[in-house]
Each structure stands twice: as structure tokens, then as C-alpha cells.
A and B are shown apart, each in its own frame.
Chain A
Amino acid sequence: MNKSTQKILVIDDDPDFLAAVTPILKSALYEVVTATNPREAKEKIFSEKPNLILLDIMMDSLFDGFSLCHAIKTSKEFRDYKDTPIIFVSAVKEIAGTRFQFKGDEEGMAGPDDYIDKPVKPDDLLARIAKLIK
């Protein structure tokens, strides 16, 4: 399959992270779209129909990555996109202390397909993406 047809939506409130991660994805010939807030993220999911979503866990306080991920995987609104693979991106320590523990498991929330620590290593990121959107 031609990789260039694959589109990745990166959702993060930090424009610098978006700017830094874009060249990584482009180097593997993915098309990149970005969103810096949940509203924009929602619009882009509907308009761009991404093949995969990179989602920052600690977005703004009102609507974090956990909620958005849960919404995409389970809500009616996103039912056409519920199979879109989601990779959580986060600075680990913010979530659980020493090591990543997926918070959602305990709270009955739908989890991501994979997660990766910030800063992401380009090779690692690309390998994880490739596994999910062959």
C-alpha cells in the first residue's frame, strides 16, 4: 500500500511539540494534520478522516486526552471513526509517578492502542505507527 495516502492527526496543546513531531512523520511520508485543542481535534477528525491519531494525554484541564480517546472509541458521535488507532503521547511522570499505568483501566475508560513517552524517539514513534496502520 502506498504510505503517502496515510494521514496522521496530531493533537497537542503545545505548538512546539507539533512543529517538532511533524518532520518525523513527514520523513516517513505520512500526511500530517494537527490540532491544538479538543474542538479543533473533533473538526479535523470529521473533515480529515485520519488513519491514526497521536494524542497528548495532558491537554487542557477541561478536556484531557483520556476523555477524547474514550469518546472516539465509544461514543455515537464518533462511531465512524471508532476503529482509528490512537497512540497516547505523554511525559510519563505526569500520569502515575514512576511508571506509566493506564489510568483509564481503573475508571472503566476505553484505552489507546499504544502509548509513547515524550520526547518521542523518531524511530520508535515510526515503528509504533507502522504496526498500527500497516
Chain B
Amino acid sequence: MAEKKPTVLVIDDEEAMRDSCSLILARGGYAPVTAENGEVGLEKIRELKPEIALIDLKMPGISGFEVLEKTKDIDPQLIPIVITGYATVDSAVEAMKKGAYDFLPKPFAPEELRLIISRALERRRLAMEAETLRREKKLMEDNFITMVTHQLRSPLVAIQQYFEVILAGLAGQVDKTQQEMILRARERLDNLLGLINDWLDLARIDRGQIVDKLKPVALDNLLKKQVEFLAPLAKEYEVSLELKPAKGPVLGDEQMLDQAFSNIITNAIKYNKPKGSVTISMHHENSFIVVKVEDTGIGIAREHLPFIFDQFYRVSRREDQKIKGTGLGLSIAKKIVEAHNGSIEVESEPGQGSTFSVRLPRSEDETK
């Protein structure tokens, strides 16, 4: 099997250096290409995707250090090795810090060059193998989450469907005691399903599935829909919902942000008082947009505040026993916001209400 020869790019302003390296590399079974300065070097990295680049640190025009830094953006798989005539410890250390795999002081023997190249190739092979494995593992885990969720949900949904039919009287007369018991059983199932859904959301966030696809999201629209969607719940709890005029877009994953705000606003409604209100407002703060969700509810006691974003932490008080929840809503919101490089804070006065502030990075795209 004829394997493709590994391409090694030599970026050096000295012609003699380029020629001798090429010769050594060709003899060692590599395909050498050369560039006489940093710009040409970067161009060739883009074009030819070499496995390895030998970069001279001291060149006219853009320096070897700059080339080194830019290679990372162009091809993270590329293994850069620096060559330097002034092999001081400092420049070597700096080059390594900037991502060089190794460094080669001039002058060097042909054997030294070939050795370093073969080590670099081995390392590249291992890195790529690890990357493939990581990707496969992630795919397996993603599918696993979906499958497990489906398997957990399906039987519960089937049970609920039976309950619906029985409660509708379609399976014969249901007396009052039976009806009450089924209603309770249904409620427990609802909670369990809620838990599975929340768990799935958490698992997805932990898998980092959102950070890959951040786009400008128009918060005003998102929150408007949110307010419409939650209006029936607000009515049920006799709470008024108000959305103040909005600011520009943030950078995010719309569906995930939707989920985060849904959790926060739902809490603000549920942990409110009859005739209370929930006010959503926004303001700019440097490169962030801060969304405040302010309620006039029961508030959170000081001793609970540090824990309310913890998983499964629920403030249990006799008066809100009737409020159902999984104890995951806020921790999900926090994870989502943090995955957006944002933050979430809470201020609260027991008996007066709570204010949740969500800071999200503004989108550059201010035209929206």
C-alpha cells in the first residue's frame, strides 16, 4: 500500500537552509515544501495542509512567533517545530508556550532533524487517533442519552395514556375514590416525567452540545413568546406578567436560552403571591445584556440563597409544599447561561420578592 508521504513545510528566509532541509527530508522519505517568509508559509499551510511545519523564528516580515500563533487558527492539527539560530532558553520557552511541539537549534545534524520529525509525526498520529476516539465516544453518548430517555419515557407515557382514558370514563364508571387515586398517581408520573426531561436537558448541556452553535438571538422576540406561552400559568397563579422594551441581540442558542428563561420565569410565577407581578427588563452592561426577572413573591431566605442553583436543592417550606418541581430548573438555567459565557445572580428579600439577573454576551450583530 503506497501511503502518502508526510508533507513537511520549511519556513525560513535563508535559501541555503531551505535547500538543505529539503534534501534531508526528501532522503528521509518526506515530501518537503518551502516558504521564504511567514506570509508565504501561512499561505502554504492553508493550501497544502502539511503535517509538520519547521518555522524559523527570526525572519524579516512577520516573525516566526506570529506564524506559530496563526497556525493554530489555520490548522490545529499541524505540528509546528521552531528552528532558531539564537537558541536561547527564553526564545525556546516562549515558542513552546505558543504551541511549538519542539525546537531545533541551528546548526543541527541531518539525524537530529529526522528524529524530531519522526517523533512529531508519531505525536500527530496519536493526537488524531485520540480526536477520533473522542468524537466516537461523544456520538455514542449522545445516542445513549436519547435512547435511554426514550426508553424511560415511553412506558410512563403509556401509563399516563391509560389514566387519561380511565379518567375520561371511557373504561367504565370511575367512583370518586378511584378518581382521586388516579389523579394522584398521574401527578406522580408527571413529576417523574419532568425529572427525566430535566435530566436529559442537563445531560445535553454537560455534553457541550450548545456551545458549538451560537448565533445572534433576538431576546425581545424570545421573551415575548415566553410571556405569551406562560400567560395561562400566570393567570392560574393570579400573577401579572410584564415585559419591558427590549435591547439588542445576544449570542446564543435560541432553544437553550428559551429553556433557561422559561425555568426562571416559571419559578417567578409559581413562587409569587396572588395579585403579585413578574417584571422582565433588560439593560446593557459593557459587552453584556442583563435580563432581570423581578418577582413580588415569597422570596428566598438568606441561608438558602447559596444553594438555590444546586441540583435537586429545593427550599422546603410548609407554605410551598403545593408547588411542584424537580429541583433542577434553576441549575439547568445556570448551566445554560454559563455555557453561553454568561452568568446568573439572584437577590432576594424574604416576603418581598426575588430578582434574577442573567448576563449574556451581546452579539456583535447590532443591526438586528
Measured CB to CB, the nearest residue on chain B to A123 is: B168
Q: Which residues of B lie under 8 Å from residue A23 when comparing CB positions?
A: 165, 170-171
Contact A20 B158 (CB under 8 A): yes
Contact B258 A119 (CB under 8 A): no
Given A14-B154, A24-B170, A118-B157, answer yes or no on A94-B164 (Cβ-Cβ < 8 Å): no
B88: interface (CB < 8 Å): no
Binding site for B on A (CB under 8 A): 14, 16-17, 19-21, 23-24, 27, 58, 91, 93-94, 96-99, 101, 118-123
CA of A98 to CA of B149 in the docked complex: distance in angstroms? 14
CA of A6 to CA of B125 in the docked complex: distance in angstroms? 65
Contact A24 B168 (CB under 8 A): yes
B352: interface (CB < 8 Å): no
Q: Which residues of B lie under 8 Å from residue A20 when comparing CB positions?
A: 158, 161-162, 164-165
A-B contacts, 13 of them at CB < 8 A, read A16-B155, A16-B158, A16-B159, A20-B162, A20-B164, A23-B165, A27-B168, A91-B153, A94-B150, A97-B201, A98-B262, A119-B163, A122-B168
Given A20-B158, A93-B153, A119-B164, answer yes or no on A98-B170 (Cβ-Cβ < 8 Å): no
* Size bracket of the B interface: 20 to 34
Report the minimal beta-carbon distance from B88 to chain A, rounded to whole angstroms.
Answer: 55
B286: interface (CB < 8 Å): no
B160: interface (CB < 8 Å): yes
B259: interface (CB < 8 Å): yes
Contact A122 B259 (CB under 8 A): no
CA of A108 to CA of B229 in the docked complex: distance in angstroms? 27
Contact A122 B170 (CB under 8 A): yes
Determine the main DSSP class of B at the interface with A.
helix
CA of A88 to CA of B256 in the docked complex: distance in angstroms? 24
Measured CB to CB, the nearest residue on chain B to A96 is: B255
Binding site for A on B (CB under 8 A): 146, 149-150, 153-155, 157-165, 168, 170-171, 197, 200-201, 204, 229, 255-256, 258-259, 262
Name the contact of A21 in the complex, choosing from B159, B161, B163, B229 (C-beta under 8 A): B161
Q: Which residues of A lie under 8 Å from residue B146 when comparing CB positions?
A: 94
Report the minimal beta-carbon distance from A8 to chain B, rounded to whole angstroms.
Answer: 15
